[in-house]
Structure 1
Amino acid sequence: MNKRVNILVKLALVAALYVVLTIAIAPISYGPIQVRFSEVLILLAFYDKRYVYSLTIGCIIANLLSPLGIVDVVVGSLGTYISAVAISKTKSLLLATFWPTIFCLPVVLLLHLIVGLPFFIYLFGFMVGEFISVTLIGYPLAKILSNKEIFMKKIALNS
């Protein structure tokens, strides 16, 4: 398979997987407390910055089903994009896991200002959800999988 096609297929699969994992558990993927298991995928940006784009696209598509509508598509997806970029620039995987939790603050602030969401309730809920998904679940999973040669070959975008 052509190298570029291989890369595009992997990026598209990650975007699709983000959407499916978000929608599959929709009751807890949207709302004041969001535990999106799809957010575990954001750590792929740690291994290759090109995953930033597929994760952002996946988030945009998943957020089309958000009860907040287009506001969440723009604001929520921007938060994912910024978090993924920060992850791609961080040298420590453990430290990288904290970016999505940290970037809940500007996302919730914007959602509060635009649609009037209760700030502290959503900030707490989003931060707890991101911490559970990315740090408590994603970090150990990434550490285990990064030691598996087959996994690293499958996520590599240069092969």
Structure 2
Amino acid sequence: MSKTTTKTLYIVHAAIIAALYVVLTALAAGFDLASGAIQVRFSECLTILPYFTPAAVPGVAIGCLISNIFFGGALPDIIFGTLATLIGAVGTYMVRKNRFLCSVPPVVSNAVIIPFVLKYAYGIPGALWYFALTVGAGEIITCVFFGQILISALSPFRDRIFGNGAESVRKKK
């Protein structure tokens, strides 16, 4: 596969993942689950996609940025919420050799960062430890439970969906 084709495939995968993130966040927002002290953003299950392709790292980060602009509101949420998702996706990519560990980095990054956003950007009353528990619980539901279901569903179709182009990018790193 040519270098241009590989780069194009990488960009297309990232764009599709970003679009899926925005759509899934809109769905969660429709149920009032996309933000607040208790949140279950369905889109966060996409943070396990770096298990399959490195294009998922910018894909989920850009999708989160767009979602936070449209559904988040406060500037610290846009910045640090996106950063939490980016850190989670990078962490997933770093532990991609272990299917079960790849769900952990998004849970940890969001449980550590988002409580500060809730308390200081939105002024939601409550203890940081409580927000860490509620955000962490939401991330466990989306990243661990839904994320592992997503890995199981996509694994048989890995080559068809992500193709050899994604593997070529992975091998170069």
Give your verdict on TM over 0.5: yes
**Aligned partners of 1:113 and 1:58: how far apart in 2?**
24
Letter in 1 for 2:116: L
**Aligned partners of 2:82 and 2:103: how far apart in 1?**
17
The aligned counterpart of 2:169 is none
Tell me: CA distance 1:67–1:42, structure 2 relative to 1, closer, same or farther (3 Å). Answer: closer
Match status 1:49 vs 2:49: no
Equivalences, count:
157
Q: Specify every segment of 5 or more residues in structure 1 that has no aligned partner in the other structure, as ranges.
A: none
Select 1:66's aligned residue among 68, 71, 89: 71
Verify the 8 A CA contact 1:75 1:110 in the aligned structure 2: no
**1:148-159 to 2 correspondences below 5 Å:** 148=156, 150-156=157-163, 158=165
The aligned counterpart of 1:140 is 149
Letter in 1 for 2:86: Y
Tell me: CA distance 1:109–1:132, structure 2 relative to 1, closer, same or farther (3 Å). Answer: closer
The aligned counterpart of 1:97 is 103
Match status 1:6 vs 2:9: yes
Verify the 8 A CA contact 1:48 1:156 in the aligned structure 2: no
Structure 1 moving runs of 4+ over 4 Å: none
Tell me: CA distance 1:16–1:115, structure 2 relative to 1, closer, same or farther (3 Å). Answer: same
Give TM-score, length-normalised by structure 2: 0.80
Verify the 8 A CA contact 1:48 1:157 in the aligned structure 2: no
Match status 1:123 vs 2:132: yes
Letter in 1 for 2:109: F
Shift of 1:102: 1.2
Tell me: CA distance 1:121–1:57, structure 2 relative to 1, closer, same or farther (3 Å). Answer: same
Aligned partner of residue 30 in structure 1, secondary structure: coil
Taking every aligned residue pair, what percent have the same amino acid on both sides?
A: 29
Q: Specify every segment of 5 or more residues in structure 2 that has no aligned partner in the other structure, as ranges.
A: 167-173
Give TM-score, length-normalised by structure 1: 0.87
**Aligned partners of 1:23 and 1:32: how far apart in 2?**
18
Tell me: CA distance 1:157–1:15, structure 2 relative to 1, closer, same or farther (3 Å). Answer: farther
Match status 1:39 vs 2:28: no
